[in-house]
Structure 1
Amino acid sequence: MIDIDLHMHSTCSDGLLEPEDLVNAAGRAGLGVIALCDHDSIAGVARAMAAGRARGVEVLTGVELSVAWQNWRDVHLLGYGIDLASPELLRCLATFAERRANRNREIVAAVNRRLDHEGRQPLDPDDVTALAGGVMGRPHIARALMARAYVASMEEAFDRYLVPCDVPKTYWPMEEAIAAIRRAGGAAVLAHPTSISTDFTVLERLVGGLAAIGLDGVEVYNSMASEAEAAFLQGLTRRHRLVTTAGSDFHGIDPGDTMGKGRGGIRFSGALLPPLYARIAERQEPL
């Protein structure tokens, strides 16, 4: 059985590796199927798919959206099997990419005010944008700070500049995000639920409520959930007839980032794929 990783990031959002390099690294790690799920961007997916064909790694189309539902903010929703040419999805992503870019320009301006107070030369926003190569994220600003030798590590960049200079995000409404993914022929999956809450009662209400408005699955196996939490989440998916997925949320930035593995070193099995593929196929059947 092949190993998989259905939650990975590239330089097209806030990952360290170019899409092609990410695919090649996945191949070297022995992964047979991956999904590139950049934040609010599908800019790297076609590149990753082309690299995958050359490398013998299947790349599933994907995206990760930052959404809000009820009192929760910054809930992450994965879209798998989406049509990269979907006009509606492209319009939505373009809108949110612009909002994301505006936010990051505001963060750069705030960082520069702090640098000026310290007597240091400011960052050039165009240089940070060029460094991103796609959708600028805070890790790109951190890398620009490291390039200037203002900080020695990503962690220091966040602690000294990016956390104090943060600007609130704009979120998709959950109902709209799920509907957009489904209309683009994809399956909507809740990412790393224990990042939202580790309270089982809260997770029961969250997953149940989202299942009622069209959620397709839950990322049960990930880099955050403990064995007990994953077992609970698996039970939720069964009760609500949702698919189970697995992903590391690999960015390649933190030393502990390991593609193809979850918390405790558990490897992600390709046995999870058939139900997900079946759900995507249902979306793509002609009306």
Structure 2
Amino acid sequence: MGERPPPLYTWRVIDLHTHSRASDGTETPRELLAAAAAAGVRVVALTDHDTTAGWAEAAEAVAATGVALVRGIELSTRAATPDGGISVHLLAYLPDPAHPDLVAAMDRTRDDRVARARRMVDLLAQDHPLTWDDVLAQTADGATVGRPHLADALVAAGVVADRDEAFATILHPGARYYVPHYAPDTVDAVRAVLAAGGVPVMAHPRAGRRGRVVTDDTIAELAAAGMAGLEVDHRDHDDVERSALRGLATDLGLLVTGSSDYHGTGKLNRIGERTTAPEVLDAIAARGLLEVLHP
């Protein structure tokens, strides 16, 4: 008695990684769900960076769009290494948004993102026509300034053609303008998500073009700490990487997800271009504290 009945997702197209203007997407949460509906996606996870600010508007759009909503977050974390750490993005599905450990991690990360963005603007302004006001003009009200907003300002200034070019060149972690920001330890973040009743899944674990990636041993350490899955089907993984990740997930008993990492017009990614199997969403829904919101 009291157990949640198993949801019936067998007919649904499921995309478990998207972004709205609450972080670095180009659409409002309502527009994002409408885009999902137009693309034939029937379950979407809103996973803005280090914030739950878009959840309420997305929830209000569920009935009108007919798209079920998985409330989530993409947490910026750093896995410990002898040379200073490697950036890891951790998807947190269906957690308590008010849990103090989770709130503390998000608040500190967002605050440091702003300071970091200002430092990057100062460096970029030495060589390019860019000001802090230019960046703010590309940032939605309430959103935390990040590299995508710097990229949009550089596009508007004619420095680069699009976000992809900006991230591949002057905003790349190897560029002299790049400044790191605070991020909690990945193991600590996994534990915070679990404490908040959420389901932690590593986003694009082999996306090497974004920067260095963690080893299989680190993934095993995170699995031992309670990480639930790996985002395997992602446009930043090739066939060889997807095959290796599926094998690793099998060995470690991890869930395998697939997602678009959609940002509206901010990236080439198309909503629903990679999807998650229904039985995997069933497993996530069974483990999460919050329920999936249905039309």
TM-score clears 0.5: yes
Q: Give the superposition deviation at 1:258.
A: 1.5
Give secondary structure in 2 for the equivalent of 1:166. coil
Q: Which residue of 2 aligns with 1:206?
A: 218
Residue 253 to residue 206, structure 1, CA distance change in 2 (3 Å): farther
Which of these residues, 247, 251, 261, is aligned with residue 249 of structure 1? 261
Letter in 1 for 2:91: L
Give secondary structure in 2 for the equivalent of 1:114. coil
2:71 is equivalent to residue 61 of structure 1: yes
Question: Contact conserved, 2:257 with 2:277, CA < 8 A, in 1?
Answer: no
Greater than 6 Å deviation, 4+ residue runs: none
Q: Which residue of 1 aligns with 2:204?
A: 192
Comparing 174-183 with 246-255, greater Cα deviation is found at 246-255
Q: Which residue of 2 aligns with 1:178?
A: 190
Higher helix share: 1
Distance in 2 between the 1:84 and 1:53 partners?
22
Residue 162 to residue 270, structure 1, CA distance change in 2 (3 Å): same
Distance in 2 between the 1:155 and 1:243 partners?
29
Comparing 268-277 with 150-159, greater Cα deviation is found at 150-159
RMSD: 2.6
Letter in 2 for 1:17: E
Give secondary structure in 1 for the equivalent of 2:87. strand
Output the TM-score relative to the length of structure 2: 0.81
Residue 99 to residue 271, structure 1, CA distance change in 2 (3 Å): same
Residues 39-95 of structure 1: CA deviation (Å, up to 9, x unaligned): 222211222222223211111111112222232411111100111222332222111
Q: Which residue of 2 aligns with 1:142?
A: 151
Letter in 2 for 1:129: L
Q: Give the superposition deviation at 1:15.
A: 1.8
Q: Which residue of 2 aligns with 1:237?
A: 249
Residue 143 to residue 224, structure 1, CA distance change in 2 (3 Å): closer
Question: Contact conserved, 1:129 with 1:136, CA < 8 A, in 2?
Answer: yes
Determine which structure has greater relative contact order: mean sequence separation of CA pairs < 8 Å that are 6+ residues apart, divided by chain length: 2
Output the TM-score relative to the length of structure 1: 0.83
Give secondary structure in 2 for the equivalent of 1:224. coil
Question: Contact conserved, 1:16 with 1:251, CA < 8 A, in 2?
Answer: yes
- Percent identity at matched positions? 36
